Amino acid sequence: MIDRRSTNATTCIAGIGQTPYAKWGSVMDRSELELCCEAIVNACADAGMDVDEIDGFCSFGDDRNQPSLVATTLGVPGFRYANMVWSGGGGGSAAAVLNAVLAVHSGICRSVVVYRAICQGQFERYGQFRPRPLSSFAAPFGLHSPPNMAAMMTRRYMHETGTTKEQLGEVALAFRRHANRNPRALFADRTLDMDEYLAAREIASPFSLYDCCVETDGACAVIVTSPERARDGRQRPVSILAAAQGSGPRFGLGLMGSWNMPAETFATLNSKEVSDQIWSISGLGPKDVDVAQFYDAFTSLIPMALEEYGFCKRGEGGPFVADGHLDWAGGSLPSNTAGGLLSEAYQQGMNLIVEGVRQMRGTSTSQVEDAEVCLVTSGANAPHTSGLLLGRC
């Protein structure tokens, strides 16, 4: 029997920072760079760390905030490491933390900040229907937006497994209830019931409005450092028990481009490689996880993740959700306890990492009692995906 409280983790998350979340396009009084720096300053304050201590910068998803600009704006005297996960969009959030872990563990850096800032009104709206240079193969068929692309994969998954629209609705309802407990969530004050979910306008069959994540402006940051430095900080350190990124064969640009994956893995999240690494590295398994933060750009990604990470067998994810297992109140695997991408904010998965840290500290607005291990997943059917396993120190 594994003692989940004992760990040889060589890195910890010492600080987390956020800006207020706002509807996409509504933040026009500050630049995206200012939002980024605000989140980093907040993370340093949370950790009880001076900004000057940051000597590494990691991001993902084609973040426009180059480390040289961020460091200069913050007044950091210099940095030793800068890294961004290539492509993958939201599949890179946990991978960016992995890169920070490698920098600290190797001794290159003392403290690395992982960040993501999004200001859609100042640049582009991610969910908007538009030509996409990387999707030339799919473009003639009208696949110009993420809901269109994910809908095809989801429809195939539902056909193969018998997952129902109502089961997808239970995902949206559970995460909305969690958001209603979280004052930081964009939908903190807006409840949702099954009748409203089923009556919502269609976006791309089988997706209707509440199957799709919110679109927000904002920024998040986390600070990765050594256990020794983290223990000297202001907050309870959170151990990084495992981190992984990877891809199955022939995924290419995934559903955002090439559509070249094998037919047998088309209706999957492309997370099997990451799942295997997470459990192998940590020595833990699904039964050891107390709380999860699943990448939820669309409701269908949750039953698929439950299956690919080993919580359920293929086809059992939908019934698992319908039985209430994701709920903070009484669920066996409370998930997306701040509301997730569906109801808190869309930060390409960084807000899921922040919430995972809060759960391990014991400070979540939907705190899971005695939680010691949290799984965080990043991305879905993407060129590559990634994941983290966090532990309570």
* Gap between the Cα atoms of 25 and 28, Å rounded: 7
List b or e across 251-290, with b for residues whose CB sees 16 or more CB atoms inside 10 angstroms.
bebbbbbbbebeeeebbbbbbbbbbebbbeebebebebbb
Catalytic residues: 295, 346
Token pair belonging to 81 = 């490491």
Token pair belonging to 119 = 């200001």
Look at strands 202-204 and 207-208 and give their pairing.
Answer: antiparallel
Burial class (CB in 10 A: 0-12, 13-18, 19+), 213: buried
DSSP for 277-339, written as a single string = HHHHHHS--GGG-SEEE---SBTTHHHHHHHHTTSS-TT-HHHHHHTTTT-TTT-SS-B-TT-
Match 């029997």 to its residue by tokens: 1
* Gap between the Cα atoms of 10 and 19, Å rounded: 29
Closest CA to 16 of 44, 43, 35, 39: 43
Measure Cα distances from 118 to 52, 64, 76, 214 in Å: 24, 9, 22, 13
Neighbouring C-alpha atoms within 13 Å toward the C-beta of 28: 3
Q: Could you tell me if 389 and 373 are in contact, meaning their C-beta atoms sit under 8 angstroms apart?
A: yes
DSSP classification of residue 357: H
Q: How far apart are the first and last CA of the chain?
A: 19
Q: Give ∠ CA 286-206-353 in degrees, rounded to 5.
A: 35
Residue 338 CB neighbour total at 10 angstroms: 26
Look at strands 12-18 and 238-246 and give their pairing.
Answer: antiparallel
Look at strands 291-293 and 12-18 and give their pairing.
Answer: unpaired
Look at strands 216-225 and 12-18 and give their pairing.
Answer: antiparallel
Token pair belonging to 257 = 């481009």
